Amino acid sequence: MFSLATGIYQSYFAPPKISILIVGLDTSGKTALLERVKVTNFSSRLHHASSHNDKCVLGAVAGANMDDDTFKRGARPARLPPPLPPKKATESRHRVDQVLAEEDEQTKSIHDRPQTNNERDDLLQGIPPPPLCGLDNSQGTNGTPGGPADTTQSTINTTQSKTRDSQRPPLPPQPGLSKPRDQAPAPITSTPSKRSSFIQLLRCPSPQRYSSSALGEEEEEYYSDAIHASAVAAIATSAQKQPQQDQQQQEVEEWNTDYLNDYYINYQDGEEFDVKVSNGKKSKMFPLERIRPTLGQNLAKVEIGGCKCSLFDLSGAEKMRPLWERYYRDTDAVIFVVDSSDHSFSNLQQSRHEFRKLCQNEVMKRRIERGLPIMIFANKLDVAYGEYDKGVERANEADRRRQVSWNADEEDAFVGGKQQERSHKNGENEEDCVSSRAIDFSDLLRFFDIASFQLMDGNGPEMGAGTAVESVQYNGNGESNNHHYNHNFNRRSVCAKGNVFLFGGSAKTGEGVKAAFEYLVAQSKKYHLAMHSQ
Ligand SMILES: Nc1nc2c(ncn2[C@@H]2O[C@H](COP(=O)(O)OP(=O)(O)OP(=O)(O)O)[C@@H](O)[C@H]2O)c(=O)[nH]1
Ligand SMILES: [Mg+2]
């Protein structure tokens, strides 16, 4: 009777404890995202998405709505990123087409080389089991180590884990216990050996003082825009494949950036997103430039929408990726972070490969079938916005030099199709005017096999970067919409169920982070409760 009452309480009244796994390639910004989440002011109740109709196929949530209601709640999705200039966009599309077409060969390529059992076991031997909250303690498939078993690092319930524990050096101290509060995380001076690097659990890099309140004025220094300099430099090295001339011409003619008006008109420069304010003081995010590559895992505990969430940020380094699967068993949601500003297409390909591998993992496959939500988070959108702003600035400057006035309506066309043409006239370097991003946002959706996409906006169809398949029945107000996009993202899909979706945003500025996490937690809560009521 007592256990029945406890069960009912746990199922219906106690705040759910949700474990969220953050994975993705190295430097995609996972730790930055974790740090951003720590200073984000999440709603105590989830207002949207949780009421979302399950029958609706939800592929990707890729846009933003500036409607007052969403804005007041603060959970404002990121603005739709500006598309690449036509030439780059064509290149991006061709490359994605090529990758999708050559997929079979790619699975045999060097990145896909399956590790032999011996290699993998050897790798996993030296790694302590992750301290996730356990749903069950059973062993993994194929002799791989069992899933996380306990909330504490010291209690490991599986026999196999115990055996490995006795061979392992002692764990480093718990995060935050022995380190002085003000001390920055130690820089990595040398490359650790393969074995010893795995047994290091790096502490969460954020000293307490950054997640507690700090003066607002100090915040400024952490938001530099140095990213543009590196972006321009990166262009020089990126391989340029010349598309057909006539096709290019066609692209230019079709180019239209009108939809950006909806976003940029409302954009306020220097706007801060969802920063925690308590007692009149802003929480300060741990400085991005001080975040070191993660070797083990970082953990953050935050309350989102009334759920107690444990976020596990794992290392994305190639050697550490086999670790990910040890967390799959006990996670209630997965965030796969992608660097949307990446100028290397091969990095994106690798990212895609890892994502597919994750979805095809036996444990994960079963969980996805049962509704485990997986969010691809297209990070670093601030780079895309920055490039657009830079383009406009440069365009204005060029016109000032030529003493020709032109109105704001011309702006978008200028930054898009006409930009290169004008810059040529002015003797400017063409490369200065194009984006360094290797992939267009719309291609990103296709690239990651998102079955359909949806814009959280009543204006949806105009803003769709492509084209579509499914009817979409949701907008930013939580009302039902029914748009039929004319898209082609249904070539294949990692998940027909629609619980794989995409959000965009920026860990650096915070844009889109709150909306993405609240949406994910709403989905994850449903999944968690369903799993526990079985
Ligand atoms: N412009 C921009 N830079 C970002 C953003 N997020 C992260 N970065 C930068 O990207 C780099 C990598 O960030 P990390 O958070 O360490 O990446 P990670 O995915 O945790 O990498 P590993 O721990 O090695 O797996 C850092 O230099 C960050 O400053 C973002 O939203 N915008
Ligand atoms: Mg990291």
In terms of pLDDT, which residue wins out, 514 or 272? 514
In short, whether 293's Cβ falls inside 6 Å of ligand 1 is yes
Find where tokens 């105590």 sit: 44
- 312 - beta bridge partners? 21, 299
In short, whether 508's Cβ falls inside 6 Å of ligand 1 is yes
Q: If DSSP codes are grouped into helix, strand and coil, which group holds residue 503? A: strand
Does the CA dihedral 441-446-448-449 come out positive or negative? positive
**Ligand 1 atom at minimum distance from 227 CA:** 1
Instruction: Print the SS3 string covering 78-97.
Output: CCCCCCCCHHHHHHHHHHHH
Taking the model in full, what pTM does it have?
A: 0.64
Give Cβ neighbours of residue 8 (< 8 Å, ≥ 6 apart). Answer: none
Does the CA dihedral 273-309-292-180 come out positive or negative? positive
- Check whether 198 has a pLDDT greater than 60: no
For ligand 1, pick from 79, 201, 288, 435 the residue to mutate: most ligand atoms within 8 Å of CB: 288
Q: Whose CA is nearest to atom 29 of ligand 1?
A: 288
**Kindly report the CA angle at 66 between 70 and 54, in degrees rounded to 5?**
50
**Cα distance between residue 353 and residue 195, in whole Å:** 25
In short, whether 317's Cβ falls inside 6 Å of ligand 1 is yes
What Rg value do the Cα atoms of the chain yield, rounded? 24
381 is in an annotated binding site: yes
Nearest to 329 by CA among 356, 361, 357: 361
In short, whether 28's Cβ falls inside 6 Å of ligand 1 is yes
In this structure, what token pair is assigned to residue 112?
């896909």
pLDDT for the residue 303: 93
In this structure, what token pair is assigned to residue 288?
């991005």
Instruction: Report the b/e string of 156-188 with b at 16+ CB within 10 A.
Output: bebeebeebeeeeeeeeeebeeebeeeeebeee
**Cα distance between residue 527 and residue 500, in whole Å:** 13
Beta strand spans in 226-340 (E): 277-278, 281-283, 297-304, 307-314, 333-339
Tell me the CA–centroid distance for residue 32 and ligand 2, in Å: 7
Q: What percent of the chain has pLDDT over 70?
A: 44
**Ligand 2 is a single-atom ion; what residues have CB below 5 A from it?**
30-31, 294
- 20 - beta bridge partners? 311, 333
Nearest to 130 by CA among 198, 185, 186, 176: 198
pLDDT digits (tens, 9 = 90+) for 488-505: 333 333 333 457 778 888
294 is in an annotated binding site: yes
Residue ranges of the alpha helices (H) in 152-244? 159-167, 194-198, 208-211, 227-237
Q: H-helix or E-strand containing 522? A: helix 513-532
pLDDT-derived band at 518 (thresholds 50, 70, 90) equals: confident
Tell me the CA–centroid distance for residue 25 and ligand 2, in Å: 9
By the 8 A CB rule, do 285 and 38 touch? yes
- Ligand with smallest separation from the Cα of 25: 1
Tell me the CA–centroid distance for residue 219 and ligand 1, in Å: 18
By the 8 A CB rule, do 31 and 313 touch? yes
Q: What percent of the chain has pLDDT over 90?
A: 18
Phi, psi of 322 (to 5 degrees): -60, -20
pLDDT digits (tens, 9 = 90+) for 391-439: 777 767 766 766 555 555 555 555 554 444 544 444 444 444 457 888 9
Q: Whose CA is nearest to atom 11 of ligand 1?
A: 27
In short, whether 316's Cβ falls inside 6 Å of ligand 1 is yes
ipTM of the complex: 0.99
Instruction: Report the b/e string of 72-110 with b at 16+ CB within 10 A.
Output: eebbbbbbbbbbbbbbbbbbbbebbeebeeeeeebeeee
pLDDT digits (tens, 9 = 90+) for 237-269: 443 444 444 444 444 334 455 555 544 445 455
DSSP 313: E
**Cα distance between residue 338 and residue 33, in whole Å:** 11
- Ligand with smallest separation from the Cα of 380: 1
In short, whether 294's Cβ falls inside 6 Å of ligand 1 is yes
In short, whether 227's Cβ falls inside 6 Å of ligand 1 is yes
382 is in an annotated binding site: yes
